[in-house]
Structure 1
Amino acid sequence: MGFTPFFVVYGAEAVLPSDLDYDAPRVKAFDPDRAAEAQQDTVDLLEEACKTTLIRSTHYQQTHRRYHERKIRGRTLEVGNLVLWRTQTTKDKHKLSPPWEGPYTVAEVIRRGTY
């Protein structure tokens, strides 16, 4: 989104302890006399940053939805089709165990997506 989560929540970039220990340039440039003015500027920019983040997030979600609709095809199963069942538990399984059980035959179509 272009902003760190810390900035979006608190309205300022985080100052790390290592920045304080090693006199990072942003720590050296800190001026207590201009701190109140800088804080007000940051608050003004925060609202703009939140709106920008919302716009970028919405754009990402729309792009993801379009990709999903274009690439993912729905499947309709009918009675007699062979299907695999994904195992829900990993009890008594090792990492090379197959994640699927089956094949099983579809016996009844209750409604779309439920077999």
Structure 2
Amino acid sequence: MPFNLTYGTEALIPAEIGVPSVRTLLTIENEKELRLNLDLFKERRELASIKERKYIRQLQKYYNSRVNICKFKVGDYVFWRNEASNAEPGKLAPTWEGPYKIHAVLDKGSYKLEKN
């Protein structure tokens, strides 16, 4: 049984190979099926790749539908989350610090802040 699970075919002893029996005839059919599976392997791989891309697109659509993009302008006031700056660690430490005034807008959602 483990041989069958590992290799996909039944194990045969050399004496069984030369003698035609029901078991050896089934093994020959099994080899034909295995060769057919190998021929269809590229097609199965392509189908799996298509399904994977479709799944990734669905995840992106789901995620992007729930993202709220927040853009700030120069002169807006914002708070800085303390976890980001690792300022006073502890259970009773304040969660936010600030307010900070946005001094300049940099690349990719980055901002230069100045303390009031």
TM-score for both structures, normalised by structure 1: 0.51
**RMSD (Å) for aligned C-alpha atoms:** 3.7
Sequence identity (%): 9
Q: Which one-letter code corresponds to 1:102 in the other structure? A: E
Q: Which one-letter code corresponds to 2:78 in the other structure? A: L
* Count of aligned pairs: 89
TM-score for both structures, normalised by structure 2: 0.51
State the Cα distance separating 1:39 from its structure 2 match: 3.9
Q: Any stretches of 5+ residues in structure 2 without a counterpart?
A: 12-26, 112-116
Match of 2:53 in 1: 58
Match of 1:80 in 2: 76
Aligned partners of 1:87 and 1:101 also within 8 Å: no
Determine helix, strand or coil for the equivalent of 2:68: coil
Determine helix, strand or coil for the equivalent of 1:83: strand
Q: Any stretches of 5+ residues in structure 1 without a counterpart?
A: 1-18
Distance 1:97 1:54 in 2: 50
State the Cα distance separating 1:50 from its structure 2 match: 0.9
Distance 2:67 2:106 in 1: 20
Runs of 4+ in 1 over 4 A off after TM superposition: none
Larger Rg: 2
Aligned match of 1:108 in 71, 93, 103? 103
Answer 1 or 2: which has greater strand percent: 2
Distance 1:88 1:45, change over 3 A: farther
Aligned partners of 1:84 and 1:101 also within 8 Å: yes
Higher relative contact order by CA 8 Å / sep ≥ 6: 1 or 2? Answer: 1
Distance 1:74 1:31, change over 3 A: same
